[in-house]
Structure 1
Amino acid sequence: MDLKVGKVTSATSIMGSRSQNNPSNAGKGKLSKKASLRHVKTTKDKGLNIIMYSVKFNVEAEFGILGAFLITNGHKHKFFLQSATFEVSSVKIIHFDCQSWVYPIRRTKTDRIFFSNTCYLPHQTPAAMVELRREELHSLRGDGRGERKEWERIYEYDHYDDLGNANKGHEHARPVLGGTQAHPYPRRIRTGHTCSNKDPKTKSQPKMINLDIFVPPDEQLHPKKLLELLSNSIQSAVHFIIPETKSLIKEDSDSFDSFNEILEVFSGNQGQQAGKVPDEVRKMAPNKQLKRMIHTRKTNQAKFPLPQILAENKWAWKDDREFARQMIAGINPARIRGLQQAMSQHKIFILDHHDYLMPFLNRINTNGICAYASRTLLFSSKDGSLKPVAIELSLPGSSSSEEDPWVFVPASQGIEAASWQLAKTHVTANDSAHHQLISHWLHTHAVVEPFIIASRRQLSVMHPIHQLLRPHFRDTMHINALYRRILINSGGVLEKTLFTGEVSMELSSMLYKEWRFDEQGLPSDLLKRGMAIQDPESPTGVKLIFHDYPYGEDGLDIWLAIKTWVSDFCSVFYKQDGHIQSDEELQAWWSEIRNVGHGDKKREKWCEMKNLTDLIEVLTTLIWISSALHASVAFGQYAYASYPPNRTTLCRKFIPEEGTFEFAEFLRDTDGYFIKMLPRRSEMTLWIALMEVLSQHTSDEEYLGQRSMVQWTDKEEVRQLFMKFKRNLRDIQGRIIERNGNPELKNRGGPAKIPYELLLPDITDDRSTGGIIGKGIPNSISI
């Protein structure tokens, strides 16, 4: 047997499929004697030690088939166990894909158990493993009491009651999300933190920013990835926190004066170096790791890479065609919809940020924030490109039933053209907040977490559906915990940078009211938005109303590939619908998701999980959300959103009305007025740094069509079907590249000449590529 671990350990034992003779252990496999591990070799991987051990067991002939092993960590520190391989005979090898932290026995008080890559439906479980299967699931569910410790493998549900910090003052109080009709929300992992002294309904928060957040050991980031994520964050932090030169943030002003000054943030002309790393950032990482990262960054110039939106033409973002193209090929491509009354011609489309924003505008438009609720009408031209034809910007009127709308139309010169540019910028501010809070956070990160919790609580590691979904849940819960601590909390980065400010998560809760799981699959979403029509002859069941919709066209290819793979996989294990109905683990999983994890939506429409069709649709939708949907809204952020004039996050000026002092200021210097309308220097630079971190693939990323272990299943039939899935993705990759090279498809590049690669699978055997590469669909929501 070989074990790959990150720290030395003590001993292990194995469990066979034959029952023990002792009646008190009925239903449990035969357990071998413990054996000590022997060091074989140590290798280095980016500063981390990868240690291989071996151990030998002697067991009697009636021991049975190896189904699990127990490992005891007798040392002071935790280690990360990557995998284990047992050579039973010259032809029989059993694999374990562990990928989890193992904590010291003095903490856990029990050995850690891992199961082999052999899976069974509940009724197929070998008799000697039945009770062990039940006990393992039961141990993960907890009792809902007490504060969780970092070594506890406990999965419980909780509301979002940890976003505010009432102890810091009333301005940091935030409503609890989830569990009420007013503020519904998906559930999160329960931490059991103590309640706030000032508000017993909410949890207390740590005084300092740190990454010591409870996440069950199986969900914690791999040490290599955590180190890389910290390194990327610190590299971005030095751009705006205590630079050695003061050229970035002037002492007498916190605003830019020209477009050239904004461009200098990317050109590196300031010549500032990565200076002292502040205490707040220093506390985020262990000392040894931090010192290593600081050493590697000291000699590097602190500058942001040039975003793609500026690479070919630094003024392409001002083009109306580029403004419209980003609605179907940018980072928020699933908000635009067709106007139903114009569906017979399929010509008119709308980007609507009106109804959900209006109730919040009076609270938002304080402290220098100037926001409208917007509607943008677009027309599809003969060449397939979209052109904006009107923008309506609205403010609340003197009464709750009144509005004050203002309509702008395109203009090519003069003050009308400058006003039109301001109107487009207010639209992008609306779209930026919707993208971050809804399309990115809510519709991927937040809605998937209850599925992860339910999977751990109700689907045994031996269950084939657990085996199928496992790579699509990797790192998500830990990333979500970091989001709650740093990005979406009161005073967090999103509140500091988005125009929605302190109402950001309330707004997210309001739009969760519209969310339905059965509408999250791509074909259903396209039909709902009027971007496709039903087509019984299509394998996806739908047909796009215009083919030059990059997100829709590429997405349908990926959707079909996922659905084919899911169908192939499930058909291996479920030979008839009755097996689905009698699968108690699967039925408990689906019930818990609907009634607990998404309990605020339990009265919505959910399928009944009665047959193979139901199961395939649910799993395809879940994998689509976790992989392709997330990739489409996450990894293009730096390309488009890191340049605030293209996609601002807030506006500090309204569009001036004639006869006012502001209008006179606007007439004197239209560009100057536009720049003063954008975020301040500090806000803008903080946002750019965030975009740099959130857009990066880590070097150990696992992409769609890849698994961390070649022998992730012992079923040769399933491995062959997985290779078929991978070949399908390769074919799709070729088609996407061909589309991007077709000059007749105007929306594939647009004036900015940015090829649409956010749904490019990027299937390759080289998994070491990281950074801001845009392309590639990770298996999971891992950033």
Structure 2
Amino acid sequence: LRHPCQSTKTMLNSTPVHLQLAGPARTLFPWHMPFASGSSIASFPVVKPKSAFRRKQNTTSVCACLVTEPTLIDMTNHPKPAEKFTSVKAVVTAKPIDGFDINEYSSGRTLVLELVPIKKMSLVQTIKGRLKYMSEENNEVKYECDFKVPHIFGEIGAVVIENEHHKETYLKKIVIHGFPNGPVNVTCNSWVQPKFDKSENRVFFTNKSYLPSQTPRGLLNLRETDLESLRGNGQGERKKSDRIYDYDVYNDLGDPDTSDVLARPVLGGKKHPYPRRCRTGRPPCKTDRLSETKGDIYLPRDEAFSDVSKQSLRVIFSALQGIFVRLYALHEDQDLPFPSLTAIDSLFNEGVNLPNLDINGLSKDLLPRIWKYIDILRFETPELVNRDKFSWLRDEEFSRQTLAGLNPCTIKLVEEWPLKSNLDPEIYGEPESKITKELVEREIKGFMSFDEALRQKKLFVLDYHDLLLPYVNKVRELEKRTLYGSRTLFFLTPDGTLRPLAIELTRPPSGNGEPQWKQVYTPSLDDIGTGYWLWRFAKAHVLVHDSGIHQLVSHWLRTHCAVEPYIIATNRRLSKMHPVYRLLHPHFRYTMEINALARQHLISANGAIESTFSASKYSMELSSVVYDRQWQFDLQALPADLINRGMAEE
């Protein structure tokens, strides 16, 4: 500051004059003003300047120079910048807590919601508020909370939920209204465990997807922490409330502690390669330390069926169990065969009496084919049989089933001739098939020559020879069981339909010195003779093989079993905000619980699969062989699978 008479030149050459301000200078940042507030509590750091910083502010000095007129600087009256907030409302939708009424929701315990910004901030980290119970209708509970969000907070990237209730809560969604760019949506569809069980707070990201390299800095730690909480450490037995996805082998199919007959090999490893399942961590068996004891099967909490689906399945299983109990009571021998074809027809025409069957709680919508016959188990007649009672005996239907039946996933084009086995001939005998070129020529006579049929891609085969032959002698040692290796050759006629040409059934050499046995059967023109029925028996064996491979391979292995490790890997490695996770998640829904139920009731020792299919106790071991020899990731989808089998061309 200078006197008005002092020249500019003099001022430039003079020593600067420092003016000591009276009183402390106001800072431009409102240190003691809260940055945000919730409806009940605020959870953010109230930052105060260090004492050293305060002293500097109290002794601010201003350098005076190049001022042409006297200037008065009054820092004590400097205007404070206005705080800018956005008022928003968070609405949380949840399922009603089992056993809760309005008094329970109003008891003081509630859900605590914490907003997390996408940008990393040194001052305001999060905003927290206690949710207030608002209403319950249409099987949904609504919570609300009002927030004042400062403009410097930026975009919301995630929310953190703490459950103060004493029971787990299922959150459906969170919507935050009031932002200029529209509401913020958070899809949850997940169980949140109570904090009294020492569970961690749950993180839910907004519906905006990010690749790892694009994740905002404010969400990086949350993303990695959330993934780590899902991986576990591979130790201990899992609890029902856990969300851990960990790997294990199929070591719980057998029950060796109960009986040696129920012992089964561990599937997964060098000897029996197999996909991994979700780890439960039960103690090992006493008689086989590699096998896991029986008990409840763990399932990550969010993989469980919904309440409606679970109740429906419980009723169905209860009803079916009652039916089987009555059937076993009527027939002491569970392996009792049908004495005739007429007995099979009677299942559709007359049914089976089921006295004293308790069907309380059974809905007509769940088992409509059983409900209308309260005391009689009667199956609905298939439409095909309604049209033609003997259609299942005809060659045309036998061929059609390979493409339009239960298992259209195995038939393939014949690309090499003669048909040969890849098994060790020292163990399994002559590898070359007995279906000869001359036999095929005779069967397709009038259409084209064999060479033309092979060149024009008219020959197709259903080949279960190498898969089944190693188990033939083992299965034939079991009571009331038999098995063959089989090959079935088809010809694609000019009218576009398949025609069966020959069926080859094979038994390998046995341990008692019997040589390899092979027999080829062809369609017979004799409608009543021996050849007619031998051909139909051969078709019956092929259909039994095909239905078994359908359930064990096409359905269980390829559809359920092989998918489970991908579900586990997706949850362990891909964050909920990853776009690929959000693409896959709807397709994985409930698969793990279905697989768990299968391990308990279907594929376990003496379960439904072993009790009804030819391979019996070797069924799951057989599916392991198929996985080892044939399963390949890049051939599972269309059109790759069809091209690989020669059923389509690129």
The structure 2 residue matched to 1:186, chosen from 275, 278, 284, is: 275
Q: How does 1:138-537 map to 2 (within 5 A)?
A: 138-180=228-270, 182-206=271-295, 212-242=296-326, 249=331, 254-267=336-349, 269-270=351-352, 272=354, 275-276=357-358, 300=372, 301=374, 302-341=377-416, 343-365=454-476, 366-398=478-510, 403-412=516-525, 413-414=527-528, 415-514=530-629, 515-533=631-649
The change in CA–CA distance for 1:360 and 1:108 in structure 2 (over 3 A counts) is: farther
Structure 1 residues 667-697: Cα deviation after superposition (integer angstroms, max 9, x where no partner): xxxxxxxxxxxxxxxxxxxxxxxxxxxxxxx
- Which SS does the other structure have where 2:196 is aligned? helix
Structure 1 residues 29-49: Cα deviation after superposition (integer angstroms, max 9, x where no partner): 933223134142322xxxxxx
- Which SS does the other structure have where 1:33 is aligned? strand
The change in CA–CA distance for 1:55 and 1:174 in structure 2 (over 3 A counts) is: same
Gaps (5+ residues) in structure 2? 1-90, 417-452
Identify the residue that residue 170 of structure 2 maps to in structure 1.
Answer: 80
Aligned mates of 2:454, 2:366 — CA distance in 1: 57
- Residue 31 (structure 1) aligned with residue 116 (structure 2): no
Aligned mates of 2:412, 2:234 — CA distance in 1: 43
The change in CA–CA distance for 1:217 and 1:253 in structure 2 (over 3 A counts) is: closer
Matching residue's letter, 1:117: N
Matching residue's letter, 1:527: I
Contact residue 215 and residue 477 of structure 1 kept, 8 A: yes
Matching residue's letter, 1:83: K
Matching residue's letter, 2:645: R
Contact residue 18 and residue 30 of structure 1 kept, 8 A: no
Report the structure number with the largest CA radius of gyration.
2
The change in CA–CA distance for 1:58 and 1:521 in structure 2 (over 3 A counts) is: same
Aligned mates of 1:266, 1:93 — CA distance in 2: 58
Structure 1 residues 728-773: Cα deviation after superposition (integer angstroms, max 9, x where no partner): xxxxxxxxxxxxxxxxxxxxxxxxxxxxxxxxxxxxxxxxxxxxxx
Matching residue's letter, 2:325: I
Matching residue's letter, 2:403: I
Deviates more, 1:248-257 or 1:522-531: 248-257
Aligned mates of 1:393, 1:197 — CA distance in 2: 42
- Residue 14 (structure 1) aligned with residue 122 (structure 2): no
1:346, distance to aligned residue in structure 2 (A): 1.4
Contact residue 248 and residue 278 of structure 2 kept, 8 A: yes
- Which SS does the other structure have where 2:284 is aligned? coil
Matching residue's letter, 1:60: V
Contact residue 239 and residue 303 of structure 1 kept, 8 A: no
1:164, distance to aligned residue in structure 2 (A): 1.1
Contact residue 134 and residue 144 of structure 2 kept, 8 A: no
Identify the residue that residue 160 of structure 2 maps to in structure 1.
Answer: 70
1:173, distance to aligned residue in structure 2 (A): 1.1
Aligned mates of 1:268, 1:74 — CA distance in 2: 59
Contact residue 602 and residue 608 of structure 2 kept, 8 A: yes
1:219, distance to aligned residue in structure 2 (A): 1.4
- Which SS does the other structure have where 2:597 is aligned? helix
Contact residue 157 and residue 189 of structure 1 kept, 8 A: yes
1:97, distance to aligned residue in structure 2 (A): 2.6
Matching residue's letter, 2:117: S
1:19, distance to aligned residue in structure 2 (A): 5.3
Contact residue 161 and residue 202 of structure 1 kept, 8 A: yes
Answer 1 or 2: higher relative contact order, Cα 8 Å, separation at least 6.
1
Aligned mates of 1:336, 1:523 — CA distance in 2: 15
Aligned mates of 2:574, 2:334 — CA distance in 1: 59
Contact residue 94 and residue 169 of structure 2 kept, 8 A: no
Matching residue's letter, 1:521: A
1:295, distance to aligned residue in structure 2 (A): 13
- Which SS does the other structure have where 1:376 is aligned? strand
Matching residue's letter, 2:344: I
1:438, distance to aligned residue in structure 2 (A): 0.8
The change in CA–CA distance for 1:473 and 1:251 in structure 2 (over 3 A counts) is: closer
Percent identity, aligned pairs only? 36
The change in CA–CA distance for 1:268 and 1:231 in structure 2 (over 3 A counts) is: farther
Aligned mates of 1:310, 1:4 — CA distance in 2: 49
Matching residue's letter, 1:131: N
Aligned mates of 2:182, 2:604 — CA distance in 1: 51
Contact residue 316 and residue 366 of structure 2 kept, 8 A: no
Identify the residue that residue 109 of structure 1 maps to in structure 2.
Answer: 199
Aligned mates of 1:486, 1:518 — CA distance in 2: 31
When normalised by structure 2's length, the TM-score is 0.72
1:530, distance to aligned residue in structure 2 (A): 1.7
Contact residue 13 and residue 34 of structure 1 kept, 8 A: yes
Matching residue's letter, 1:376: T
The change in CA–CA distance for 1:56 and 1:268 in structure 2 (over 3 A counts) is: farther
Matching residue's letter, 2:156: L
Matching residue's letter, 1:58: F
1:251, distance to aligned residue in structure 2 (A): 8.6
Structure 1 residues 347-394: Cα deviation after superposition (integer angstroms, max 9, x where no partner): 111101111111111111121101111110111111111111111111
Structure 1 residues 394-448: Cα deviation after superposition (integer angstroms, max 9, x where no partner): 1122469952111111124122111111111111111111111111111121111
When normalised by structure 1's length, the TM-score is 0.60
1:239, distance to aligned residue in structure 2 (A): 3.4
Q: How does 1:575-724 map to 2 (within 5 A)?
A: none
The structure 2 residue matched to 1:40, chosen from 121, 135, 142, is: 135
Aligned mates of 1:416, 1:299 — CA distance in 2: 43
- Which SS does the other structure have where 2:388 is aligned? coil
Matching residue's letter, 1:531: M
The change in CA–CA distance for 1:411 and 1:101 in structure 2 (over 3 A counts) is: farther
Matching residue's letter, 1:93: P
The change in CA–CA distance for 1:456 and 1:93 in structure 2 (over 3 A counts) is: same
Contact residue 193 and residue 203 of structure 1 kept, 8 A: yes
Structure 1 residues 645-688: Cα deviation after superposition (integer angstroms, max 9, x where no partner): xxxxxxxxxxxxxxxxxxxxxxxxxxxxxxxxxxxxxxxxxxxx
The change in CA–CA distance for 1:79 and 1:418 in structure 2 (over 3 A counts) is: farther
The change in CA–CA distance for 1:16 and 1:269 in structure 2 (over 3 A counts) is: same
1:311, distance to aligned residue in structure 2 (A): 3.5
Aligned mates of 1:118, 1:499 — CA distance in 2: 51
1:238, distance to aligned residue in structure 2 (A): 3.8
Aligned mates of 2:600, 2:618 — CA distance in 1: 17
Aligned mates of 1:451, 1:98 — CA distance in 2: 21
- Which SS does the other structure have where 1:179 is aligned? coil
Matching residue's letter, 2:490: L
Aligned mates of 1:360, 1:274 — CA distance in 2: 42
Contact residue 19 and residue 30 of structure 1 kept, 8 A: no
Aligned mates of 1:449, 1:523 — CA distance in 2: 23
- Which SS does the other structure have where 1:100 is aligned? strand
Structure 1 residues 311-363: Cα deviation after superposition (integer angstroms, max 9, x where no partner): 32222111111111111111111100111145521111110111111111111
Contact residue 429 and residue 499 of structure 1 kept, 8 A: yes
1:174, distance to aligned residue in structure 2 (A): 1.0
Gaps (5+ residues) in structure 1? 24-28, 44-49, 207-211, 278-289, 534-541, 543-783
- Which SS does the other structure have where 2:257 is aligned? helix
- Residue 119 (structure 1) aligned with residue 209 (structure 2): yes
